[in-house]
Amino acid sequence: MGVAGSFPGFAGRPPGPVMDRDEADRALARLGAEHEAIETSLLALQDHAGRRLLEGADLSGVTKEHWAAAEQSITLLWGYFDAYAGALATARKIRAVRRHPSKDDLAALTALLRGDGVTVANPGAVPSAVGPARLSERFTLEELVARMNDLYARSLDVVVAADSVWSALPARIDLLAAELRRTRSLAHSVGVRPGEHPAGDDLEAITQELITLRAQVISDPLAFWLPGPGSAAPGGGRPDTARYDRAARALDDVRREIEAVLAVRQDAEQRLVRLRDVLSRADRTLSEARSARGEVLAKIAASEVPAVSGPPTALQERLATASEYRRHAQWNRLSPLLDSLEREAEEELLRARDSLTSVTAPLAVRAELRGRLDAYRAKVARHGLAEDPFLIERYDAARRMLWSAPCDLRVAEQAVLRYQQAAADLLAPHRTGGYDGQGETP
């Protein structure tokens, strides 16, 4: 900001022997340079943007207290500077009287430049229990510079810290508030409103937090200042952005929630179509299972056939509700409903397929027995034993059982096993003999 951290130090020696002309001239030159540096720093502090903002702000809290003390320090600073400038002017007048100063001139210069002859009024003096108030104080020029350095550093610290907070936080809060307004508008368009959706409540809470935070930052910026550890420089530290950061993270979470709802709006129709297809397939599979169960009960005897559940009417009703949500743009309600419906619809289709498999299991067993019976008959025929009366009898018995309704699977299986055993007994000599005359070895 163009404001120095402290004034230059006073380089003179303590009171002692009277200075000669060269020492006095060098001391005056140093004092003149100090005067210019001090004046530049004070004017820069006077023109500092942070100081002007503090003067015009409606302050509260720790900032109000610290700025009141800083204003007193700045007023006192100018008083000290005037005393310092007056001492320098007096010293210059004494030196300007003669080209070669007299002993009295040099003694006066020594007393002024090294002694405690600078008197400054004490505007903050108050009586104490140990005595009356001191209405003025006496300083050496070195002590005066040290006192100004201390007051300047404390005043500048308040100004720089407040200005840093005001430069950092309000602008960021305003940007976040603008993003919040856009998010609220988007949330409203997809049905995310306070009292109807948790994200809507979160947006309302973030809005109130940003309003409160901005007002507190403007009125009490020093409450949001973290001094730097071990830093002695004025303004050493950084703005405390913890509350702002929490609000920004909360808004990010809400924005992701809104984006998820928007994704639902974009593909809701496709997801509803897929849901209808899955539930339709589950319904058709259950219908097929019910028809198969009737067939099994008619064709298979002494078999435990599991019952088949009805169509998934509850899921159909919820699917109709989902369609209503889409029709009325209630995306926040549609999103979780679609998620659960998709999961349950797939589960319903798997249950329907399992039911069909369980119901048709007896028919599959009968088909396997028929296939096994025909396979053995073909094998017997290859060995020229198809006309064997005993095998024909056993085959016909098994076939009648498998092709009659209702079919007793347990009895039919025993008949097939008897045919297999009879065929194995007749084929045994052929296997022992090796070649059967038909070009095959069984």
pLDDT per residue as tens digits for the range 187-209: 887 777 888 778 889 999 999 99
pLDDT for residue 355 is more than 90: no
344 close to 391: Cβ distance less than 8 angstroms = no
Measured at the CA of 321, the angle between CA 320 and CA 323, to 5 degrees, comes to 65
pLDDT for residue 294 is more than 90: no
Between 244 and 299, residue with greater pLDDT:
244
| pLDDT score for 97 | 75
Region label for 61, one of left (φ > 0), alpha (ψ between -120 and 50) or beta (otherwise):
left
Between 434 and 324, residue with greater pLDDT:
324
Distance of CA 81 to the CA centre of its chain: 53
> Which of 30-44, 106-120, 419-433 has the highest mean predicted lDDT (pLDDT)?
30-44
| pLDDT score for 129 | 47
pLDDT digits (tens, 9 = 90+) for 414-436: 888 998 888 888 877 655 444 34
Q: For the residues 126-134, what does the mean pLDDT come to?
A: 45
| pLDDT score for 231 | 53
Name the average pLDDT for the chain: 81
Q: How far apart are CA 247 and CA 253, in angstroms?
A: 10
pLDDT digits (tens, 9 = 90+) for 205-254: 999 999 999 999 999 999 999 987 755 556 678 899 999 999 999 999 99
Q: How far apart are CA 195 and CA 239, in angstroms?
A: 35
Model confidence, pTM: 0.57
In 160-268, where do the E strands start and end? 225-227, 237-239
Above pLDDT 90, what percent of the chain? 24
Strand 300-301 and strand 237-239: pairing?
A: unpaired
Task: Work out the pLDDT band at 124, boundaries 50, 70, 90.
Answer: low
The end-to-end CA distance of the chain, in Å, is 107
Between 159 and 302, residue with greater pLDDT:
159
Q: For the residues 34-42, what does the mean pLDDT come to?
A: 85
Between 24 and 61, residue with greater pLDDT:
61
pLDDT digits (tens, 9 = 90+) for 55-107: 888 999 999 999 999 999 898 888 888 888 888 888 788 777 778 777 777 77
| pLDDT score for 17 | 79
| pLDDT score for 299 | 81
Hey, CA dihedral for 288, 294, 296, 298, is it positive or negative? negative
pLDDT for residue 117 is more than 50: yes
| pLDDT score for 301 | 77
> Which of 115-119, 148-152, 179-183, 189-193 has the highest mean predicted lDDT (pLDDT)?
179-183
pLDDT for residue 159 is more than 80: yes
CA distances in angstroms from 84 to 9, 34, 116, listed in the order given: 13, 10, 12
Other Cβ atoms less than 10 A from the Cβ of 28: the count is: 17
Q: For the residues 141-150, what does the mean pLDDT come to?
A: 84
The least confident of 5-19, 71-85, 339-353 is 5-19
pLDDT for residue 15 is more than 90: no
Between 131 and 180, residue with greater pLDDT:
180
Cis peptide before 234, with omega less than 30 degrees from 0? no
pLDDT for residue 385 is more than 50: yes
Q: Please identify which residue in the block is written with the tokens 């003179």.
A: 12
pLDDT for residue 273 is more than 50: yes
| pLDDT score for 404 | 83
| pLDDT score for 10 | 40
214 close to 53: Cβ distance less than 8 angstroms = no
Q: For the residues 271-289, what does the mean pLDDT come to?
A: 90
pLDDT for residue 119 is more than 60: yes
| pLDDT score for 303 | 61
Residue type, 219: S
Between 410 and 215, residue with greater pLDDT:
215
